[in-house]
Amino acid sequence: MKDMMYNSLHNRWLRLLAAIAGEGIIALAMNLFIVPLNLYSGGLMGLCQLIRTLLQAKLGLTFGNADIAGILYFISNLPILFLAYKTLGKAMTVKTIICTVSFSLFYSIIPIPQTPIVEDYLTACMLGGIIVGVASGIVLTCGGSGGGLDIVGLCLSKRGSRFTVGKFSLTFNFFLYAACLVLFVPEVAIYSVIYNFFTSMVLDRMHQQNVNVQAMIFTKEDEKVLGRFIIEKLGRSVTYWEGTGAYSGKGLHVLVVCLSKFEIEELLHAVYEMDPHAFTTVQERVRVYGNFVRKLE
């Protein structure tokens, strides 16, 4: 069962299908719990929702049962996707395009209830935030991305900017919700922030690429074979040295590598294949400074 789950998680096409399904769940949760209460998501999607509301309220434009925010979100992502291609490469851009198109389509075609399914604002924020956070974590864990500000922040980070993904998103959302506070009643801005908080909190727990771990591998087999796997397949560097078992007095090889929690399962699988008698210690949430590559896939 474990091997089947491992193979499914690391199968390129199954991961892509899971990412698309995750985008559908995100759109469903937003349209069922958040949009009927006239609340606003964070990031670029929240800005598109705000523009949609202003078009309806100030210009009197109507779009039937469709939510134009989904179309606006796709259009606004086009320059971002161009930036992503230049900075992040073809593979990440293709996945982002697929996920962005999927989310925009799902968001636009999933009907919005005329009356809220959950009328209590706090309950709706909690349910919507948890579901969106879990689904977003699935998308990111599968190597996908729904586009938006995460891609902008990642590109800025890659180019050496002091703005990390989190800082950029936090700054943008501050001005977004400040605008909501000015344009609407305070409850709209407050509950939108609460919804965004639940989403971010759950997403942080789900997104294993954000969790750094240190693995120490003790083996008597050829350490260079495992070292090549770590460098070539995981794209990580590795340090190894010679050790001596205190009980047996025999020599062994010790390998140390820092990587994301998402990558650790692949490493453990490879270690077992190469040396079933090896053992590995893993320390989670280590702080890494300096030249350490953070990945979305």
Name the one residue in this structure whose structure tokens are 């705000």: 50
CA dist 125 and 34 (Å) reads 7
SS3 64: coil
CA dist 273 and 281 (Å) reads 17
Element (H, E) at 99: helix 90-109
Burial 55-76 (b: 16+ CB within 10 A, else e): beeeeeeeeeeebbbbbbbbeb
CA distance readout (Å), 82 to 43, 144, 153: 18, 16, 14
CA dist 232 and 234 (Å) reads 6
pLDDT in tens, the chain (297 residues): 444 444 555 567 888 898 899 999 999 999 999 999 999 998 899 999 999 898 887 776 766 666 788 889 999 988 888 877 777 677 778 888 899 999 999 998 898 888 889 999 999 999 999 999 899 888 877 777 777 877 776 666 566 556 555 567 778 889 999 999 999 999 999 999 999 999 888 876 765 555 678 888 888 888 888 888 888 877 788 888 888 888 788 888 888 988 776 677 778 888 888 888 888 888 876 666 666 565 545
DSSP conformational letter for 284? E
Q: Are 215 and 282 in contact (CB under 8 A)?
A: yes
- For the four alpha carbons of 20, 26, 31 and 33, in that order, the dihedral sign comes to positive
Q: pTM score > 0.85 for this model?
A: no
pLDDT in tens, 64-123: 666 788 889 999 988 888 877 777 677 778 888 899 999 999 998 898 888 889 999 999
Residue type for position 45: M
CA dist 39 and 45 (Å) reads 12
SS3 282: strand
pLDDT in tens, 228-238: 888 887 778 88
